[in-house]
Structure 1
């Protein structure tokens, strides 16, 4: 009698387990499972990852610079035995990424196959919580992941800020593709935005026999189902994932500074060549509502009564309200609605800078006065130090195009560029908001005797940083940005004394307006390429010329004009070139360094500065070559360039340039007009490459 009872009990437990798995998505077999929502699932979670009450897997909650991980608790059999071939597997999951802005996000998420559920020493931000800055690219990582990347990182050779990629042990993808899917009927590619706040589905299929991985995506619930043509199909050698028989599968997501949340709605997985079980979209949890709450019925009844009372109160307070509005009056036109996320109110900038008091003044330049400010804490973010530049601009002509460029430049992301956060317009001025650089501008450390002396290592690092930033502007963004005013006062130093290039693209403002200090050619005397004065046409090589002068300025600690003494009219290029011809180039280095410098790096900097400031545009190197020289990836040509006198070049221009050759103001913005008297369009942004 005992045995039948035991047998019946075992059968009952098996049936009960099957029922529970059917309801909660548990593992039905050793290497297959389905989660139609994650309510009651025994996932292995860490970081920001939690399961919401409705069964939604929340990988991130918007906290800055954090990561979240979620793994299936049991490992899957990746190989049939030690050293055996990797078995075929298939995964399918539904996800959504919600950012505060539908056109701007920060970092994405990834489907991960890893040797353990604890990803040790990972970094958040652009490393997606999977790898870190030191182990990126190491075979010891033993990790495969499919990234859903919503930020362009040039250092990883990302194609754009909206793509999928297949990665093995490195943030640099083996193959990537813009997010979207191919229509089965027409074969046409349809774009999808990863940050559209809409749920989408991804399929990851690995063929162990062919050693190939296919990645496919589509909107969740596409009537035709999984598209036949994959988004990515690439050979992958998963021997780099390690020789262990088992591995863990799951998800990782990371945040940067933009408030973003990552969700997984459902997930299925199968080993051994079987397709991942289909998700039941009717059982998947819903996403949280994004936006203002719907008004209740009670509110609809009470609102008319409350409105009447409010109107009476408003009439009583009208005078005070009008006075307050005049104080914080702004210019706001209908076309600015599309740039809403990048627009600051004048009121918040006024309070942030304590009323633009003189004690908040950081500096004054050709483009206006700059004030330090602090934006107060919000519910989701801590207080933020900012710099606010007030630029006079009375003309309305071209303002829409300029604001569009400001917003576009606000999407630039590079460690050696000052981040442009947004703008505000009020009466006859434009206010531009930047990240605040605590150590101020580089020129103060070169010429202000009250500042500490920069050692050679710091100077060389700043030169390399500015070169990297210019390379990004010229070649590595999706549009070509011409800076047009590269100089020491436009290089700002962050808390670690890294150089960051600022004021890029602002010269475009004066194409549409009139500034009493300039006419058509925007720049600074001493940094202007000869052809720019003649033609009025700014190009990447005119930036290279200014960069060459900047390199010599940093190395020598002298201004481009009046370099020997404050009242001297000599030109730094002529002075350094003369020493180079005599074989005494190192004698031009800043004496305040007391001879403590790397001689090879110093010679490289001087020769590079002269090469970049060559009078012939075609003889100047491009910024990619410049970065290769500075990083030691390519040798500088042995023969130093032969530069004719910069002063003679100036005198060779037509009559409109004679005043430049005679006066040499060292800090004023150029007011030189083209010879023709007209103006060739000098755009801060040109078309894509």
Structure 2
């Protein structure tokens, strides 16, 4: 059973819970507690697991970090009222631009992600504060009382936020910073070649130094002359600027001037992963760094697909779109203009905008886009990280095989370790861990989208919480084209469109 009330932005799934009365009562209390506690928690995020007889209730609540504590409470109050009508169904969700709530009888996060919200439910702090203030005021002179009153007046005399009159009445998200064109022009030295970081199908990227000394990445978009540019640009940029995760490059702001649209991102000094894997940077990545990059990238994608209040599909995951911060942690770039998947559709058809070699066959050939297209691309990237070989290049040895065919052949023959990059020291990695990573990669590049794991399942497996190894992968597929792929760029820009290419699906055994 599935019902969707689009006007109230509710979604309830599954069937009526076994022991509906107990489930209903417990779930109501869990959601009420989350509504109260979440605004008091740094980061505005809480996840809980509550045991029932023979079952459990998994629940989360989250607000955008850009809203205030009171704004978060207001939004979750409305969210609670909406999600409450989903009970006693086994799963329900309520969301808006400012917040998101979800409960389920099925685990959708790892147990170690839960937090104890009890301390945030305790009352009485306000009365204690009042007693202290009363005692102090009662024992001081009139001048001190007057000074205290003046201080209180200044404290409370703050400008009130203007609320958006949407259907849920939730607090509006904070919009992206609006940069002036002349400031960005000056920051990038008039978008000079010496400041160019890279090129891509959606525009060029430049290094910019703002007046306050902050270094940023400035992307000049190429969006064409569509009459819908303004609406699409404003709505999508506003949404994406509120996506905050440690493994995603943050969109800081934007600029519009005439037909030009510019995005301003965090600057990543280490640039992109492909520079470290394929020889531009002399220092090789060790296995721990590679494993951290794999896990961090998976976490970033899982957040985009499942944890943000709208499902965001990247469409172009590849090594040049994975940037590295100062601590060599991965940050996924170029999801700023990604298509958004509606909650009530399993996939949507759209113009192809990926990179052949990384692209799932159902998307490249039929234009069918879902989260599993990102899972496929992730699988290819994972094999590149393990092997140090580009998927689009033939090996220079006698076999001369492409990466995906080579990986499958070695897996079938149980010779996994021969795929590992020869630059890695055999003493520094765990053999079983490497095997697990390779098998996860092969599961991600299965021909059928339904056979691929979700990114949250990948994260759980990488963290050792469960194993995908019990599911043996079948022979993967890849997409080939009638043209030679150009070298991958090292920018924060999206890959070039391949709409003029002729693509076909090939089974690996046929190569």
User: CA contact under 8 A between 1:148 and 1:164: conserved in structure 2?
Assistant: yes
- Matched with 1:397 is 227
Deviation at 1:492, TM superposition (A): 0.4
Determine the C-alpha separation between the residues in 2 that align with 1:182 and 1:671: 45
Deviation at 1:537, TM superposition (A): 2.3
Deviation at 1:290, TM superposition (A): 4.4
1:537 maps to which of 346, 368, 375: 368
- Matched with 1:343 is 178
1:491 maps to which of 322, 331, 342: 322
Deviation at 1:150, TM superposition (A): 8.2
- Matched with 1:629 is 461
Distance 1:152 1:181, change over 3 A: closer
Q: SS of the counterpart of 2:219? A: strand
1:178 maps to which of 51, 60, 76: 76
| Deviations 1:201-224, CA, capped at 9 Å, x for gaps | xxxxxxxxxxxxxxxxxxxxxxxx
1:285 maps to which of 147, 153, 173: 153
Q: Which has the larger radius of gyration?
A: 1
Determine the C-alpha separation between the residues in 1 that align with 2:243 and 2:63: 12
- Matched with 2:207 is 372
More helix by share: 2
Deviation at 1:646, TM superposition (A): 2.6
- Matched with 1:268 is 130
- Matched with 2:240 is 409
User: CA contact under 8 A between 1:562 and 1:568: conserved in structure 2?
Assistant: no
| Deviations 1:273-297, CA, capped at 9 Å, x for gaps | xxxxxxxxx9962534649xxxxxx
Determine the C-alpha separation between the residues in 1 that align with 2:80 and 2:410: 63
Determine the C-alpha separation between the residues in 2 that align with 1:640 and 1:405: 39
2:294 maps to which of 463, 469, 472: 463
- Matched with 1:170 is none
| Deviations 1:237-288, CA, capped at 9 Å, x for gaps | 99x99xxxxx99579xxxxxxxxxxxxxx96359xxxxxxxxxxx9962534
- Matched with 1:583 is 414
Number of residue pairs aligned between Structure 1 and Structure 2: 374
Determine the C-alpha separation between the residues in 2 that align with 1:408 and 1:488: 25
User: CA contact under 8 A between 1:424 and 1:432: conserved in structure 2?
Assistant: yes
- Matched with 2:63 is 160
User: CA contact under 8 A between 1:525 and 1:666: conserved in structure 2?
Assistant: no
Q: SS of the counterpart of 2:423? A: helix
1:379-458 equivalences under 5 Å are 383-399=213-229, 400-458=231-289
Determine the C-alpha separation between the residues in 2 that align with 1:355 and 1:409: 26
Determine the C-alpha separation between the residues in 2 that align with 1:553 and 1:619: 21
Q: SS of the counterpart of 1:350? A: helix
| Deviations 1:47-82, CA, capped at 9 Å, x for gaps | xxxxxxxxxxxxxxxxxxxxxxxxxxxxxxxxxxxx
| TM-score, normalised relative to structure 1 | 0.48
Determine the C-alpha separation between the residues in 2 that align with 1:285 and 1:344: 34
Distance 1:474 1:508, change over 3 A: closer
Distance 1:587 1:479, change over 3 A: same
User: CA contact under 8 A between 1:562 and 1:664: conserved in structure 2?
Assistant: no
1:355 matched to 2:355? The reply is: no
Deviation at 1:353, TM superposition (A): 1.7
1:281-360 equivalences under 5 Å are 285-286=153-154, 287-288=156-157, 290=159, 341-360=176-195
Distance 1:398 1:579, change over 3 A: same
Deviation at 1:637, TM superposition (A): 2.5
| Deviations 1:436-478, CA, capped at 9 Å, x for gaps | 1111111101112443100000000000000000000000011
User: CA contact under 8 A between 2:313 and 2:338: conserved in structure 1?
Assistant: no
Q: SS of the counterpart of 2:191? A: coil
Q: SS of the counterpart of 1:439? A: coil
Determine the C-alpha separation between the residues in 1 that align with 2:61 and 2:501: 40
1:217-296 equivalences under 5 Å are 249=125, 268=130, 285-286=153-154, 287-288=156-157, 290=159
User: CA contact under 8 A between 1:456 and 1:598: conserved in structure 2?
Assistant: no
Q: Quote the RMSD (CA, aligned, Å).
A: 4.2
- In structure 1, runs of 5+ residues without a counterpart are 1-143, 166-174, 184-192, 196-233, 242-246, 252-265, 271-281, 292-337, 378-382, 510-518, 651-659, 676-689
- In structure 2, runs of 5+ residues without a counterpart are 1-35, 49-59, 82-95, 99-115, 133-148, 161-172, 341-349, 489-494, 503-511
Distance 1:394 1:237, change over 3 A: closer
Q: SS of the counterpart of 2:352? A: coil
| Deviations 1:487-525, CA, capped at 9 Å, x for gaps | 10000000000000010142559xxxxxxxxx9300011
Determine the C-alpha separation between the residues in 2 that align with 1:428 and 1:237: 52
User: CA contact under 8 A between 1:533 and 1:673: conserved in structure 2?
Assistant: no
Q: SS of the counterpart of 1:159? A: strand
Distance 1:413 1:544, change over 3 A: same
Determine the C-alpha separation between the residues in 2 that align with 1:551 and 1:182: 39
Determine the C-alpha separation between the residues in 1 that align with 2:277 and 2:294: 13
User: CA contact under 8 A between 1:371 and 1:388: conserved in structure 2?
Assistant: yes
1:554 maps to which of 385, 392, 400: 385
| Deviations 1:594-652, CA, capped at 9 Å, x for gaps | 434221221111111100111111110011110000100102223531214536xx5xx
Q: SS of the counterpart of 2:435? A: helix
- Matched with 1:669 is 496
Q: SS of the counterpart of 1:471? A: helix
Deviation at 1:365, TM superposition (A): 2.6
Distance 1:623 1:555, change over 3 A: same
Q: SS of the counterpart of 1:496? A: coil
